Amino acid sequence: MESEVQGRTIPANLVLRETEEGELSGVWESMGQEMELADLAYEDGVLKFTRTMGSGGRALSFEGRVVDGELRGVQQAGDTEIPCVGQRFRLDRDGPAEPAPNAEVFDDAASYLDELEADYDRHAVRAAPRDAFDVLDGPEMVIAWTAETLDEEEYVLGVNLGGEARAYPIGALGSSELLNDVCGGVPIAATW
């Protein structure tokens, strides 16, 4: 899906599932957030749902029509209307991905990411290219009171899993934006 917001194109994934009983559920994934859909209905080619956005709980409603594998619609929050368009892909319950008519097929994740990169370049929707920031993998940990580069007032992102605790300085995360580590035997990814 792509949404037009104040002259910018914002990419998203709209993931819909149908149970064998015909019940629908779904999520809207965009800008690192996953939002559950409510009031989800699909009838006669018209898809409707609501979702809550952000920590403020702003409600958006969506209504769109599927034609030839393409979904076109409008999200609405109060008087604000946000046009959206998306390409439909179908995933079979018991088999491999089956694209809807006119859908583009990718053999592997790398070709999908390459196409996504080209799409971002065409629409200029982001400030930094893919892999522009270094990822911190398994950073060296020290005992808190021995840390020489950490001010007492500096904010940290804390994790406590399996009886093990870790603290990551926000300043370090701000320059890398992504960290991979293991805490209490559990792989974690942290972002700021």
Query: Tell me, what amino acid is at 176?
Result: S
Residues 30 and 81 in one domain: yes
pLDDT digits (tens, 9 = 90+) for 66-91: 887 788 999 888 788 888 998 876 65
- Domain of 160, in residue numbers: 135-191
Please answer whether residues 53 and 60 qualify as being in contact, where contact means their C-beta atoms are separated by less than 8 angstroms: yes
Residues 7 and 38 in one domain: yes
The pLDDT-based confidence of 100 (bands split at 50, 70, 90) is very low
- Name the domain boundary from 123, 148, 168: 123
Residues 117 and 143 in one domain: no
Residues 15 and 107 in one domain: yes
Residue 67 is inside which H or E element, if any? strand 58-67
> What tokens appear for 110 in the block?
């790398």
Question: Of 139, 144, 130, which is closest to residue 190 (Cα–Cα)?
Answer: 139
Residues 47 and 87 in one domain: yes
Give the CA count within 13 Å in the CB-facing half-sphere of 24.
15
Question: Of 87, 84, 82, 81, which is closest to residue 64 (Cα–Cα)?
Answer: 84
pLDDT of residue 15: 85
Residues 81 and 147 in one domain: no
Distance CA 53, CA 75 (A): 12
Residues 92 and 176 in one domain: no
Residues 11 and 89 in one domain: yes
Asked if the structure places residue 158 within a domain, the reply is yes
State yes or no: pLDDT of 109 exceeds 60.
no
Residues 41 and 110 in one domain: yes
The pLDDT-based confidence of 33 (bands split at 50, 70, 90) is confident
Q: State the average pLDDT for the chain.
A: 76
pLDDT of residue 40: 92
Residues 30 and 53 in one domain: yes
Of residues 189 and 177, the one with the higher pLDDT is 189
Residues 29 and 81 in one domain: yes
Question: Of 100, 114, 42, 32, which is closest to residue 73 (Cα–Cα)?
Answer: 42
Asked if the structure places residue 130 within a domain, the reply is no
> What tokens appear for 177 in the block?
């934006």
Of residues 115 and 141, the one with the higher pLDDT is 141
Structural domains of the chain, count = 2
DSSP string covering 8-53: EEEE-EEEEEE-TT--EEEEEEETTEEEEEEEEEEETTEEEEEEEE
Kindly state the average pLDDT of the residues 165-175. Answer: 80
pTM of the model: 0.47
Distance CA 61, CA 9 (A): 19
